[in-house]
């Protein structure tokens, strides 16, 4: 009978080593040992909830950073606070080597720390591949950094395209409903003028989503300008969009003309689904059908998203 294989010897890491840095920790993992015998698992578990001090010079920027714009005045205010109190909230980095780390999240804090003249910053160390790194950066920034809607839309879109994710897989990865993810990505179809207004927060995500549901770009821009000029609320914009759709586009029905009350129902359904492809058909006095047409999978998903909401 074969003897049971001895368990790999567990390596203990003391807090002094962790506080001093991670170089000694990773040096404990002898590269000549087999993968099974290396204490990598214990190391990762130890680092997961431990804050270490890492030289700023050893941290490279994150190519997948979803935040693109930083308010310089707010950045300087944070730097002034860090000079007095230090960096209270650690950043998160990915381990590359004993002297090299890649930022996962916390770029604003890292930039402010550099302005404050810090040589080392507190950090959580993670081991992650590129996809996990992008997901972690997005999720942590959404929770802590208040990304604008366009930055969130950009990162959702990159995750979907670069890693060939379906809408369902993407929503599962980021912990959001599919309708929420789809609504963000639809913002990328808006005219640049409206997208920029979302970035600068001249209009809200609710405004942008209402505008994104309008098919005609000219109408989008017209209602956008009205929203800015009149300071419309989201609800007021939704009402104006519905009224404009009813008066400017005209009311269309398939087959014979519908009674006025049924015309109103049909138009309300079209406004709700943000599509003209909704037809109410009467069959007799009190019977009929509601027919919703779509021409591709994206249109179907948008219809399902509206029903889910």
The C-alpha angle 79, 118, 91, rounded to 5 degrees, equals 75
- Whether 107 is catalytic is yes
Q: Are 157 and 187 in contact (CB under 8 A)?
A: no
**Selection from 203, 87, 189, 213 nearest residue 148 by Cα:** 203
C-alpha pair distances (Å), 111 with each of 70, 86, 122, 170: 10, 13, 13, 30
Strands 59-60 and 120-126: unpaired
- CA dist 38 and 85 (Å) reads 39
Catalytic residue among 46, 107, 135, 151: 107
How many Å apart are CA 61 and CA 261, to the nearest integer? Answer: 60
Residues acting as catalytic residues: 107
């Amino acid at each position: 009978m074969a003897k049971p294989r001895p368990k790999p010897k567990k390596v203990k890491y003391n807090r002094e080593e962790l506080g001093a840095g991670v170089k000694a920790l990773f040096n404990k993992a002898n590269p000549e040992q087999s993968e099974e015998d290396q204490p990598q698992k214990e190391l990762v578990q130890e680092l997961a909830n431990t804050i270490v001090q890492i030289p700023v010079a050893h941290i490279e920027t994150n190519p997948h950073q979803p935040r693109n714009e930083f308010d310089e005045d707010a950045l300087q205010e944070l730097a002034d606070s860090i000079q007095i109190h230090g960096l209270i909230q650690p950043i998160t980095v990915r381990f590359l080597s004993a002297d090299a780390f890649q930022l996962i999240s916390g770029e604003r804090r890292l930039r402010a720390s550099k302005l404050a003249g810090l040589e080392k910053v507190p950090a959580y160390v993670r081991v992650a591949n590129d996809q996990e790194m992008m997901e972690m950066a997005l999720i942590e920034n959404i929770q802590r950094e208040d990304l604008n809607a366009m930055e969130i839309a950009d990162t959702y879109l990159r995750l979907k395209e670069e890693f060939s994710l379906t809408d369902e897989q993407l929503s599962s990865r980021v912990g959001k409903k599919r309708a929420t993810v789809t609504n963000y990505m639809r913002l990328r179809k808006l005219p640049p003028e409206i997208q920029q207004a979302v970035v600068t927060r001249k209009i809200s995500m609710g405004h942008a989503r209402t505008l994104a549901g309008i098919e005609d770009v000219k109408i989008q821009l017209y209602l956008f300008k009205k929203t800015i000029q009149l300071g419309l609320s989201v609800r007021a914009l939704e009402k104006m969009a519905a009224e404009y759709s009813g008066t400017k586009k005209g009311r269309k029905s398939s087959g014979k003309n519908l009674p006025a009350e049924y015309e109103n129902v049909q138009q309300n359904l079209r406004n709700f689904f943000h599509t003209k492809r909704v037809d109410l058909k009467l069959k007799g006095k009190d019977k009929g059908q509601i027919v919703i047409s779509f021409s591709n999978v994206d249109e179907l998903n948008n219809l399902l998203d509206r029903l889910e909401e």
